[in-house]
Amino acid sequence: AQRVTQPEKLLSVFKGAPVELKCNYSYSGSPELFWYVQYSRQRLQLLLRHISRESIKGFTADLNKGETSFHLKKPFAQEEDSAMYYCALSPSWGKLQFGAGTQVVVTP
């Protein structure tokens, strides 16, 4: 069965510190993985998709098939990065299977 695990419910970091949000998945095929972000009172927004290998708002994520991980990283956290972050797997037809989410709080 497909599963997405985000082990941290809450991540509190200081401004300027590195931040890493963990995501592990289980999936038998070749996964399509995404990170979504939800700022306070706003909609879910697509942050990154693994196939594009791009960096958005300073965030990067590398797919590690050996460790079945897709951790999200940013070298220097900013206060505006405070949000809920969801890792998601697409097993088929655009359907997304979400992790439970990690709330990031960046304190000055």
Partner 1 sequence: EPEVTQTPSHQVTQMGQEVILRCVPISNHLYFYWYRQILGQKVEFLVSFYNNEISEKSEIFDDQFSVERPDGSNFTLKIRSTKLEDSAMYFCASSEETNGAFFGQGTRLTVV
Within 8 A by CB and 6+ apart from 43, the residues are none
Closest CB to partner 1 among residues 9, 66: 9
Residues 75 to 94 in contact with partner 1, rule: CB under 8 A:
86, 90, 92-94
- Residue 98 in the binding site for partner 1 (CB under 8 A): yes
Q: Which amino acid is at 29?
A: G
Q: How far is Cα 62 from Cα 36, in angstroms, rounded to an integer?
A: 15
Which CB sits closer to partner 1, 17 or 100? 100
Does position 105 interact with partner 1 (CB under 8 A)? The reply is no
Cβ proximity to partner 1: between 5 and 13 the closer is: 5
DSSP of 21-88: E--EEE-SS--EEEEEEE-TTS--EEEEETTT---BTTBEE--BTTTTB--EEESS--GGG-EEEEEE
Asked if residue 42 binds partner 1 (CB under 8 A), the reply is: yes
Give, as ranges, the residues between 58 and 77 that touch partner 1 (CB under 8 A). Answer: none
| Residues contributing to the site for partner 1 (CB under 8 A) | 32, 34, 36, 42-46, 49, 51, 86, 90, 92-101
